[in-house]
Amino acid sequence: MTDEVLTQVDGKAGRLRLNRPRAIHALTQPMCIAMIAALQGWRGDEAVEVVLIDHAEGRGFCAGGDVVQLASDAVAARAFFHEEYRLNHLLFTYAKPVVAFMDGVTMGGGVGISQPAKYRIATENTLFAMPETGIGLFTDVGGGWYLSRLPGHFGEYLALTGARLDGAECVALGICTHYIPSEDLPALKAAIAADPQSVGRLLDEAAIEPPAAGILARAEEIERLFVADRYEDILAALAADKSEWAEAQLRTLGKKSPQTCKVCLRLVKDGRERTDFADEMRAEYGVAVHVIQRPDFAEGVRALLVDRDNKPVWNPATPDGVTDQMIDTIFSPLSDDEAWTPLGR
């Protein structure tokens, strides 16, 4: 398998520990395969009553998917996303309780393996974001489902801007269920492994009142300025507002892929209408297959992750260059023989 994911049974708990500290535990296809295999093995094992997901060492939980290679290899990208989304769906439908410890950087793919968990733990180290608009990708791994279910229009705001949240803000928005000091996690994990039937009580007892959530001070502005269905209308609302905060959001959006911003906005809107997570993953895989064939993904990865000049040249360069027909094509379903399928199908 791979030593980049450590899988073990600890007491009555199955442990999934991400182990790529130099890459902030960014996910690869072998890591997804290893986690799927462990989860499938534990599903029928009566000795395993709970699953704990964390990282072995280093400063982050999971920085996302390892996309540098994928940007230049469409075949590898399709294979990775297909396997990653199967892992996301498996966690979402898993019968045994899952606890994800989001202690540190939690972005992209890290969101995909933490948000399906019944219990999602924030700490003082938590840094959450879905920053894909900056690399020409989109808020995948179930982002259309999770972001669309946040209060008001926080989902649109986070998807478009890639804004970063701390642990307190994650709890305030419902992204995380508990706020627990990082120093208390080792003893807490041991207690859960010894008594999984009390996992809810143990987490409640360990949780403390989080600090004030700064994002809530912007709730009125986000609700008012990110409500439109059309990306151009959101930009116009921000431009007309004239506040320092609105101008800062405009500057941020000016650096993002216009194509990706329109994709993310539609994904959040569509996500509100879905009732089956498998349908979400099927739709997102279709979007992924189309997006990775377009120039912005390779260009965004080049500019932000390879050359690091932070000067992507987007194509189209402006929102009005991204036509409705282009977005409809990106969202067009794949043929049956190409479409994403859950495990066992």
Which residues form the catalytic set?
Answer: 65, 109, 132, 140
In the block, residue with structure tokens 């899988």: 7
Handedness of CA 128, 134, 139, 140 (dihedral sign): negative
Are 46 and 92 in contact by the 8 Å Cβ rule? The answer is no
Are 299 and 314 in contact by the 8 Å Cβ rule? The answer is yes
Phi, psi for residue 234 in degrees, rounded to 5: -65, -45
Most distant CA pair in the chain: distance in Å?
A: 60
